[in-house]
Structure formats: C-alpha cells, structure tokens
Structure 1
Amino acid sequence: MLATAAALQMSSLGAAHADPTGPVKPGTVGSAEADATRLQNQADTAAKNAARAATQLDKAKAKAEETAQAAAEAAAVAEQSGKNGDKQKADNAAVKAANASAEAAQAQLEYNEKAAAAAQAAAAAAEAATNAEREAASLAGIKLGVDTAGTQTLPDTGVFPDNATHSDNVKVVGQVRGVLSSDGSCPAFKATKCPAFSSLNFVHFEKLGFDMMVANGTGGLAIWSLKNPERPEYIAAVTVDQLKQPGETMTRFWEGENLTVDSRRKLVYLTRDSGTKGLFIIDINDPWHPKLLGFHPVRLGHTATCINDCRFIWSVGSGASGISAPVYVTDVRDVNHPFTYSKAVAADVRRTGVTSGSTHSVDVDFDGVVWVSGSGGVRGYWTEGKHYDPATKTTRSATAYDPIPYAGGSVTGLESAFLHNAYRFPNALGDRPKGDVVLITNENNNQNCAKAGVFILASLEGTHDGEGMTSTPANPVKMGQLATYSPGGKPGHYVDPTGKAGDCSAHWFTVNGNIVAAGFYEQGVRFLDISDPRNPQQVGWFRVPDRAAGPDGPAIIGSNASSAYWHNGYVYIPDYGRGVDIIKFTDKIPGKRENKVCWNSCEK
C-alpha cells in the first residue's frame, strides 16, 4: 500500500558547485558551513569595499563636473575679453578639469573592479550557503528505519520451481512474484514477455536487524521483508497507477534495469526510460508503507546509479546527441529538491570522441572509481578526492559533475561491441595484479549462441590516465582482451522445441570471491570461476523450463533471467517473466570474499 504522496515538489534550485569530498558526515557538514561563513565574510568585505569605491566615484564625478563647468566658464570669459591673464586662467581651469576627469575615470575603473569582485564574492557565498544547506539536508535525511515490523502482507502468486534444472552444487530455495504488469511488453523472444522484474536491490534496516528486498519491473516496485531470507514476505508495492503523473496514460513502468537505492536514507530511485524520462524517488523508511516523494525529469533514463555516498546520481541511456558517451548528473543531497546539471559529462568510453551510440550502465567499484559502460567501451572516473588530472596536468579535486578520468576504453577485438555493464575486480587474479581485471558483459540478444553477447574479462594495463599514456582519437588506448565466455554448448544449455537456443546474451552479474553469478536470459544463471582470468570455467548453473499446467503440477513460466545477486549467502534472481527465484551455490567459493557484494552503487 502506498502512503499518501506528498505534492510533486521536485524543482531545480541553484547548482552547488563547492562539492566537498568524501561521504556526508558531521565534519563534512561543519566544513561546508565554515566555508559558507568564510565566503559570506569575504562577500561582506567585498561589498563594503565596493560601497566605498562607489562613494569615491560619486565624489570624483562631482569634482569632474564642477571643474568642467569652471573650465567652461573660464574659457568663455577668456574668449570674450581676449586678455592673456584670462587665457592663462582658462588654460589652468582646463588642466584641472582634465585631471578631475582622469581621476573620475580611474575611480570608475576601481569601482567596476570592486563591484565585480563583490558580485563574484556574493555569488560564491550564496553557492556555498546552498551547498551547506544541501549537505545538512543529506545528513538530516539519514534514517535507521522503523523499529517495529509492520503486520501488512500482500498475496504472492509465486510458484516454487519444482521442475528447475540445475547443477548438483545449486540448491533451489524459493520463489516470489510480487507486483506484476498486465502490459509486460518488452524486447524478448519469450511469448510471456516481461510482466515481472528487471532488477532488484537490498536496503538494510538497522533497528529491525534485517534487510528489505526491493525489485522493479513493468508492474512497478515490490518490497519484501527478508527476515527469513529463504522465504521473503511480500509487504508492499508501488504500482504503475500510483506512479502515473498527471495526464499520463502509462500502462507499464519502463524500465529501471539497474535499481539503485540509498540504504543510508532508506530511499529507492526508479529510473524511467519512456515518455518523460527521469527519476521516481520513493521513501521506504517504513517499508510497509512506502511514500512516493515525487518525480524528477532527467534527459537520460535507462539506468541510474548512486555515487559519492548517494549524494549524487549518474543517469545514462540514449536520446542525447552530440555528446561523447553522455552522463547526466543529479544532485540529490536535498532529496525534495533534486537538481540536474544542464551540461552532461562526456564519458568518451571509446576514447575517440565519437558522439554516436549510447551509454548503458554506471557501476562503482571498491575504490570509488565510477565506471561508465556503453557503445564500444568502458571508462572509469574519479568523482571525489584529489587525483592527478591528465587534461590539466595538475592534482585537483574531482567532483560528481567534473570528474577525473582513471582508465579504460574499448576492448581489443570487441571495439564495436555494445558493452552493457562492468565490474573492476578488486584483487589479484591469476597472473594479473590487484585491480587490473575488468569484468564486462556484451549484450547482444540472439538465439544463436555464436552471435550472442558474451561475458568478457579484460585488462586495464596501459590504460591508466595518470600514467602518462597517450590516447588519441586516431589511435585510442584499448583494454587487452583476456577471455570471453558464452553458455552455448555448456552444461545446462537450453534449446527450445523448435531447435532454437533460448536467448544466449550475457546480462547483469555480481561477484563473490572468484565466482561470478550472471544472468543469461533464457539460459538462466551461470556460475563462473574466474580464478584464471584467461580461462574462465563454468562451475554451476540454474534454469527453469516452461511447463504447462497438468498432472506434473501447475503452470510454470520458464527462465528469462535478468541478473543474479549474491546477498548474505543466497543468490536472488530477478526474472522478467517469473519474478524472483532464490538459490544457493553450495560449493566452496575460491578467492577473497569481501565483506560486501559490490555492484551498482557498491552498498555495504
């Protein structure tokens, strides 16, 4: 049930350019407020200087007028009398008038300079004040969630996949369906199309001591309690009808393909890529009663990702021409008044400056580097902290709206491939050093596995912008290809009754240790051991076949897996047709297991 929504109050206030580095915390807010006070003092001093200059200018102008009048009168007397003494007086008066005029001109220049400085200081002070207000608003928005679990539950039509096929090291745990769409149309080979979910995410509730799972798809947003992680309890939804804006006839939500959340402030951002593109902002501090805060238009809306502790959002997609791999930046520190910068960041993922193509995903790694994937390449950027900027050849502070390039580019041999999303592996793999390997999916929906999109392992060696390497449009730096993987011909490979393979394209994935769990549409989920990045091995799989209702049980929709999310020992699979499947990978996981599973905004 959706709580009564506040009036749509999203608006564009002024841009806050003085972006402090690091996450919002009392010290950061204090620094922003100190900056605002310091700049306001400077503005007050500049205003006083301008006022004094204005007074001096008025005096100089009055003197110039007075001496000019005196010179004119003396000149008239001299002309009338013709006497040498009067002519001398006239000449002296003219000199005084000229000097007074020069002094007035100098006073005007000094006033102009001080007035401009005062205006600049006032603008800087106003900007700093706005920045401090937004920092404080972000801090004030931190919530621990409700301390008492609600009692509301919604009926869930999930059917346990008792016909699932899978490797011996995969255990099928459960299935939920949540909110569905009656108009689940999408680009899919399956007749069932996409009534269910394209993505999901998790929000931790400190006071309750457990997480909520949120998933979005063509039917809207669904929320489950994970108090029992094997049996999620469906507790709330935000439906398409509730997301409709005034005057719209929207029959399905599209598309939120990489759902981003702010666990710190208990917010969910749904990104829309149809009609008026942009962000729905939903408060789930009480997840049993979510509140729609409003809708904020953004020029790109295929996916959106929180960066810099979810104080800013990078939105990507198609629909912006003339920009090399466009990214639009939205300041959401004051969540009731988001602001999107009019100028897009040019991510230039191919490093050629080409302005054709689109961007698809933004993913933050363990070091805070923000990776943009799109047509022909993947490029990483620093968006906070001080780093070397190869463009200016200086060390400066990176910001969300003025980032500093880090590394990346096209992948050798796959220069024209559509690169869907990426993950920079944090640790050493095989012969590759720490932080060198990037995992990438190439999406190309095809029932011929030989032509479909593949899972890619690439090396960043030689592409780091801070290492003095040279990249030009004519000779762009590229990542080296280490290996690719396709489910075609592997155990679990699905071929439909007509002899065609199900959609074989790689899609979203997450990583645990050295094991990748990846969605491959109709090929279900594949587990890959990437301990040797030059030779990834499939070590597990899960897929649900279609089944008609009959003596074997109720009807079951077959897999159309969008992704696979590791979370607290389980793998949750958002499926375009099925809902969410829950499985466990039971084999030992090689490699270093991080204390968080990092994808999208790299939430802890």
Structure 2
Amino acid sequence: MLVTAVALQMSGVGAAHADPSGPVRPGTVGSAQAEATSLQNRADAAAKDAARAAARLDEAKAKAQEEAQNAADAAATAEESGKISDKNKADAAAAKAARASADAAQAQLEYNDKAATAAQAAAAAAAAATNADREAASLAGIKDGTATEGTQTLPDTGVFPDNATHSDNVDVVGHVRGVLSSNGSCPAFKATKCPAFSSLNFVRYEKLGYDVMVANGTGGLAIWSLKNPEQPEYIAAVTVDQLKQPGETMTQFWEGENLTVDSRRKLVFLTRDSGTKGLFIIDINDPWHPKLLGFHPVPLGHTATCINDCRFIWSVGSGVRGASSPVYVTDVRDVNHPFTYSQAVISDVRRTGATGGSTHSVDVDFDGVVWVSGSGGVRGYWTEGKHLDPATKAERYATAYDPIPYAGGSVTGRESAFLHNAYRFPNALGDRPAGDVVLITNENNNQDCAKAGVFILASLEGTHDGEGITSTPENPVKMTQLATYSPGGKPGHYVDPTGKAGDCSAHWFTVNGNIVAAGFYEQGVRFLDISDPRNPQQVGWFRVPDRAAGPDGPAIIGSNASSAYWHNGYVYVPDYGRGVDVLKFTGDIPGKHEKKVCWNSCEK
C-alpha cells in the first residue's frame, strides 16, 4: 500500500526547482539532475564556508576568553599594589579584552550568516534532489501498456435502449452496464438513484493499437476494451470490496465525479469524497488485470484533475473552512510515495477575497491554463512556464503549488450561482477572439426548468490578470455573460407521467469543433452549436425513457445522464442509472477540429 501523506509546507519545497513545463522527457530529468548536482555543489561550498567561519568563531571566542582573563588578572594586581603603572597595565588589558570581545561578536555574526546560508543551500539541494528523483520516477513510469490482449471478459447486464428517443442526426449504436452498486444511493430525483456511473475517461494502448474506456461510479471502477468502439467489451473491474481500506465498512464508492487518468503511465485516479477523503491509485498497464496501488488521503475529494503532465493533481470539494475556494495539491510523480502540500492553493474564484466557498472542478485547457470552478466563479491559473506575476509585477516560473493567476471571476448576473465546471474555448467564436469564450455549467438540480442550472457562455474580456486588472471586495472583476441554454421547452424535453419535468440541470460536457455534447441528467444529452456564442442552438438530442418489463421488451432504466464524451467519432454517455450509452452524431460539426477532444486535463 502507499505510504501515508507527507505534509509539506508549500514554502519548504520548490524555489530551487527547474521549470518542469511540458511532458516529462529524458531531458527534463537530466535538467533536474544537473540542477540537483549544481545545488549540491553550492551546498558543499556553503558548508565549507560555514565550517571555516565556525573555526574562526572558536578562535575568536578563545582569544576573547583569554584576554578577559588577562584583564581580570591585571585589574586584581593594580588594586592590590595601588601603583599607577599597574593601573595603566590594567586599563590596557581591559581595552584589549574589549577588542577581542568585539572581534568574537563579529565572528559570531559572520558565522550566523554563513550557517544560515549553508542551511538554506542544503535545503535547496535536498529539495532539488527530491525533485530530480521524482522526475525520474515519473519518466520511469511511462509505458505503452501490455502488448497481449487478455481473454477475460465479464458478464454485462446491459439492455440496449431500443426505446430511446433522439433527433434524426443521433444514432444509438451501443450500451454497456458494467460494475454496479448494490445500493447506489445519491442525490437524485429518479427512484433508481445512482447504481451506475458518474464519469469516464480513456487510456491509449500503443502496443494494442486501441483505447480502453474506464468509468467510475458507486459500484467502483469498470474497464472496457474499445477494440470495437461501438460495442465496448467489459474486461475488468475494481469493486467496492477491493477499494475498502482496513477497518472500513464502505458499501459504495463516492464519488469520483470527474475521473482523471494518466494515459502515459497507464494510471487511474479515483477521488473519494466520503469517510476519509483522498485518492485511490490504480495501475492498468494490463487493463484485464488492474492493480490497486493504494489509497492516499487528501483533505478534499469531490473531484481531482491531473495537471502538468500528471506530475501533480489538484483536488477540490467542500469541508475546508476559512479558505477562499481551496485547492489541494498532490505530487504524484512517484506514485508509490505521493505527498500532499499542507497549505491549500487559495483560488478565490469570486475574486473578492472572501474566506469561504467550495470548489467543484478543475479543468485544464489547451494552453495549460488550469481553471477552478466553484461557488460563485471560475478562475484560471498558470501552473507551469514563465509568466508575469500580477502581485509582484515581475516574471517568474509558475508551479503547481505556487500558481500565477490568469483570468476569470464571477459571471455578471450569476454571482451567487454554483459554477460546476468550465472549458476555455481555444478558437474564435462569432465576434469573440480566440481564447475569449469560456463555457460553464451552473448546476442546480431542479425539475422546474426555469429554476434549474443552465449552460453558460461568458467572455473573459477585462478579467486578465496579466493586463493589470485588479479586483477588490467592493468592486470584483467579473466575466460578461454572453448567453445561456436550458433544455426546457426544446425538442426532446422530458416531462414525467405526473406532469413534472425531469431534472433539467446542466452537468458535464465536451466539445468537438463548435458542437457541445452535454449531459442534462433526466433530460439526457443535448448537442449545441455555439458558433454564435450569443445565440447557442440545440441541434440534436438523446434520451432514454423508463420502461417496465412487458410485451414491449425487458425493463429499461431511463436517462440520468452525467456527461457526454466525444471520443474518436463517438459520444460515450456515462449515466448514473443506466451505465454507458454509445452514440454517433451524424450532423454537421462546424468550426476547427482540434487533434483531441479536450476535457478534465487537456494539455497539448
């Protein structure tokens, strides 16, 4: 099992580290090792200086002690003899003793300075050595995954939704059920609650030539082969019983709402937000036989996201008081010895300095800007590279534990809204320049669509810290709302047999070109064309109604869609009740198509 978290102050590590921007490579490790060697040489030189200063101090102290004794002896002789000559000798000895004492005091100051320099140099060298070791561990962990396909398959109880309702440009091509929870309790309007999945992700297997899909929910982690992307094959699971820590009585996993993975090292990180919060780390180098490496405690555990080439993880949630939108940083370069910094990053998403507010999601855009969403705002930060620090007006290197603010804040008119997650659109949209539009979900679970959380398009104009923008509690910087979208009244809008609308709240989403695919709980999946950011248009939809077993076929659980993930031409829908549905959007996809569809951690 993993070692328990080592709590380190942010100020204690990192000042001497080389900038680890970009993916870890042999050159990255070599640079870190060279830096460690250079700093160790400085530490050795500083230690020698301190040793020489200590020797001089000892000599000065001995001399001062000797002259003090001489002065005392001369004073005693002068007092006993009463002679003028002895009095003069005593005065001279006293002056000499005073000079020796002053020399000793100066030697003490010089030694203190040299000793402090040596201690600082030793600490910097130790930190750099640790950094180099962790960079080496991160590089050593990179693997192409197994080259041998496993033969193990698990039974899947999924029922294809032959009753699905959808627009003409959406095809339903597959469905899987995976590992389930026996109780699956969660906040939900639907009676079925949440036995299935809250999120999923994908890991590439270079030697196999295809991807594996992983999803987590109250039942644990499920793994599918995507050799046939339309019909995922259920190959492995990590169950709740396997996730239990010694002495625990955990009956379901909660919650892993935004599953993060390291595709280069073939790792899955499950974040837990109940009981002892923290991260489960799972090795899926052989996805047919996943290995639980262990559990690492972290103060926040609602969602977690890899940043900086998955060298670090930012964890967010609620339960930490007295901090403005806290984020906890965990170093996972050496996954067998992770540690979490004891001081949280204060993301202050509202930019008011308020000492409170929860955080919900961390999302990394194509430029590496890390966006924190939470109570009342969305704020972006640089966590690597050299940038202007608005606090000091000087350029410095940003790090995962000492980031530099980039832009963002509250959204005008939504200052009190709970902002769930965000995506900075990389290209121009309508009259807005590239990188200006931020897509945000406001989660507010409600069966009255007029009150439920909406999908928001906002502009970053006037919020960039690097442009000298300042914010005060009295006059906080805010993003301009461009438009919103709700499924209420749109084609595919669901109203249950009692006349109540299904849960209408916006939730997780992904983007392909200018088309957003978003989960809206009981309203299923909606496809939005955001080419005009001031007037988003629904261009497709998908929903599964509940069906009791009968002459029309077996029982089918209706939609409770958490998200919709574009991946290699398909849209995979993790559903709290159903499992995973596989869709194909056949409509037009305008706009620039990026090389990869980006969510969670989307660095180029």
Say whether 1:369 aligns with 2:363: no
Q: Hey, what does 1:169 align to over in structure 2?
A: 169
Q: Hey, what does 1:136 align to over in structure 2?
A: 136
Shift of 1:21: 2.9
Shift of 1:68: 1.2
User: What amino acid sits opposite 2:201 in the alignment?
Assistant: N
Q: Deviations over 1:336-394 (max 9, x none)?
A: 11111111111111111122321100000011000000011101000000111111111
User: What amino acid sits opposite 1:52 in the alignment?
Assistant: R
Q: Hey, what does 1:118 align to over in structure 2?
A: 118
Distance (Å, rounded) in 2 between the aligned partners of 1:62 and 1:203: 69
Shift of 1:19: 5.3
CA contact (8 A) 1:307 1:364 kept: yes
CA contact (8 A) 2:364 2:603 kept: no
SS of structure 2 residue aligned to 1:88 = helix
Say whether 1:9 aligns with 2:11: no
Q: How does 1:230-241 map to 2 (within 5 A)?
A: 230-241=230-241
Distance (Å, rounded) in 1 between the aligned partners of 2:475 and 2:295: 43
Q: How does 1:440-459 map to 2 (within 5 A)?
A: 440-459=440-459
CA contact (8 A) 2:377 2:410 kept: yes
Q: Deviations over 1:51-103 (max 9, x none)?
A: 11111111111111111111111111111111111111111111111111111
Shift of 1:555: 0.4
User: What amino acid sits opposite 2:283 in the alignment?
Assistant: D
Q: Hey, what does 1:94 align to over in structure 2?
A: 94
User: What amino acid sits opposite 1:92 in the alignment?
Assistant: A
User: What amino acid sits opposite 1:404 in the alignment?
Assistant: I
CA contact (8 A) 1:424 1:438 kept: yes
Distance (Å, rounded) in 2 between the aligned partners of 1:225 and 1:107: 71
Distance (Å, rounded) in 1 between the aligned partners of 2:357 and 2:308: 27
Shift of 1:536: 0.4
Q: Hey, what does 1:555 align to over in structure 2?
A: 555
Say whether 1:521 aligns with 2:521: yes
SS of structure 2 residue aligned to 1:212 = strand
Distance (Å, rounded) in 2 between the aligned partners of 1:231 and 1:471: 51
User: What amino acid sits opposite 1:466 in the alignment?
Assistant: G
Distance (Å, rounded) in 1 between the aligned partners of 2:601 and 2:301: 16
Q: Hey, what does 2:262 align to over in structure 1?
A: 262
Distance (Å, rounded) in 1 between the aligned partners of 2:25 and 2:7: 23
Q: Hey, what does 2:191 align to over in structure 1?
A: 191
Distance (Å, rounded) in 2 between the aligned partners of 1:245 and 1:232: 30
User: What amino acid sits opposite 2:209 in the alignment?
Assistant: G
Say whether 1:573 aligns with 2:567: no
SS of structure 2 residue aligned to 1:381 = strand
User: What amino acid sits opposite 1:443 in the alignment?
Assistant: E
Q: Deviations over 1:479-501 (max 9, x none)?
A: 11110000001000000000000
CA contact (8 A) 1:596 1:603 kept: no
Shift of 1:469: 2.0
Q: Deviations over 1:161-194 (max 9, x none)?
A: 0000000000010100000000100000000000
Distance (Å, rounded) in 1 between the aligned partners of 2:253 and 2:553: 31
Structure 2 regions of 5+ residues with no counterpart? Answer: none
CA contact (8 A) 2:219 2:239 kept: yes
Q: Hey, what does 1:496 align to over in structure 2?
A: 496
Distance (Å, rounded) in 1 between the aligned partners of 2:375 and 2:101: 64
CA contact (8 A) 1:222 1:237 kept: yes
User: What amino acid sits opposite 2:262 in the alignment?
Assistant: D
SS of structure 2 residue aligned to 1:577 = coil
User: What amino acid sits opposite 2:398 in the alignment?
Assistant: A
User: What amino acid sits opposite 1:412 in the alignment?
Assistant: T
SS of structure 2 residue aligned to 1:62 = helix
User: What amino acid sits opposite 2:567 in the alignment?
Assistant: H
Q: How does 1:527-538 map to 2 (within 5 A)?
A: 527-538=527-538
Deviates more, 1:81-90 or 1:422-431: 81-90
Distance (Å, rounded) in 2 between the aligned partners of 1:535 and 1:78: 102
Distance (Å, rounded) in 2 between the aligned partners of 1:88 and 1:468: 70
Q: Hey, what does 1:348 align to over in structure 2?
A: 348
Shift of 1:13: 7.3
Q: Deviations over 1:416-438 (max 9, x none)?
A: 11100000000000111111110
Structure 1 regions of 5+ residues with no counterpart? Answer: 1-6
Q: Hey, what does 1:67 align to over in structure 2?
A: 67
Q: Deviations over 1:93-144 (max 9, x none)?
A: 1111111111111111111111111111111111111111111111111111
Distance (Å, rounded) in 1 between the aligned partners of 2:335 and 2:538: 43
Shift of 1:568: 0.2
Distance (Å, rounded) in 2 between the aligned partners of 1:60 and 1:526: 81
Corresponding residue pairs, total? 598
CA contact (8 A) 1:181 1:195 kept: yes
Distance (Å, rounded) in 2 between the aligned partners of 1:33 and 1:356: 40
SS of structure 2 residue aligned to 1:482 = strand
Deviates more, 1:579-588 or 1:355-364: 355-364
What is the Cα-based RMSD across aligned positions, in Å?
Answer: 1.0
CA contact (8 A) 1:184 1:194 kept: yes
SS of structure 1 residue aligned to 2:314 = strand
SS of structure 1 residue aligned to 2:361 = strand
Distance (Å, rounded) in 2 between the aligned partners of 1:335 and 1:299: 18
Give the 3 Å change call, closer, same or farther, for CA 108–603 of structure 1 in structure 2: closer
CA contact (8 A) 2:18 2:31 kept: no
Deviates more, 1:371-380 or 1:101-110: 101-110
Q: Hey, what does 1:482 align to over in structure 2?
A: 482
Distance (Å, rounded) in 1 between the aligned partners of 2:96 and 2:24: 62
SS of structure 2 residue aligned to 1:189 = coil
Q: Hey, what does 1:21 align to over in structure 2?
A: 20
CA contact (8 A) 2:199 2:259 kept: yes
User: What amino acid sits opposite 2:55 in the alignment?
Assistant: T
User: What amino acid sits opposite 1:91 in the alignment?
Assistant: D
User: What amino acid sits opposite 2:92 in the alignment?
Assistant: N
User: What amino acid sits opposite 2:548 in the alignment?
Assistant: A
CA contact (8 A) 1:283 1:290 kept: yes
Distance (Å, rounded) in 1 between the aligned partners of 2:64 and 2:354: 60
Distance (Å, rounded) in 1 between the aligned partners of 2:371 and 2:545: 35
Q: Hey, what does 2:42 align to over in structure 1?
A: 42
Question: Quick one: percent identity of the two aligned structures?
Answer: 86
Q: Hey, what does 2:209 align to over in structure 1?
A: 209
Shift of 1:470: 2.7
CA contact (8 A) 1:13 1:337 kept: no
User: What amino acid sits opposite 1:9 in the alignment?
Assistant: V
TM-score normalised over the length of structure 1: 0.98
Distance (Å, rounded) in 2 between the aligned partners of 1:326 and 1:11: 18
Distance (Å, rounded) in 2 between the aligned partners of 1:466 and 1:116: 35
Q: How does 1:120-519 map to 2 (within 5 A)?
A: 120-519=120-519
CA contact (8 A) 2:458 2:479 kept: yes
Q: Hey, what does 2:51 align to over in structure 1?
A: 51
Distance (Å, rounded) in 1 between the aligned partners of 2:223 and 2:361: 23
Shift of 1:554: 0.5
Distance (Å, rounded) in 2 between the aligned partners of 1:460 and 1:259: 27
Q: Deviations over 1:392-448 (max 9, x none)?
A: 111111111111111111111111111000000000001111111100000000000
Q: Deviations over 1:455-492 (max 9, x none)?
A: 00011111111112232110111111110000001000
Distance (Å, rounded) in 2 between the aligned partners of 1:547 and 1:229: 26
Distance (Å, rounded) in 2 between the aligned partners of 1:83 and 1:354: 78
CA contact (8 A) 1:522 1:560 kept: yes
Distance (Å, rounded) in 2 between the aligned partners of 1:37 and 1:126: 10
CA contact (8 A) 2:18 2:35 kept: no
SS of structure 2 residue aligned to 1:452 = coil
Distance (Å, rounded) in 2 between the aligned partners of 1:20 and 1:356: 31
Shift of 1:326: 0.7
Distance (Å, rounded) in 1 between the aligned partners of 2:104 and 2:486: 79
CA contact (8 A) 1:449 1:505 kept: yes
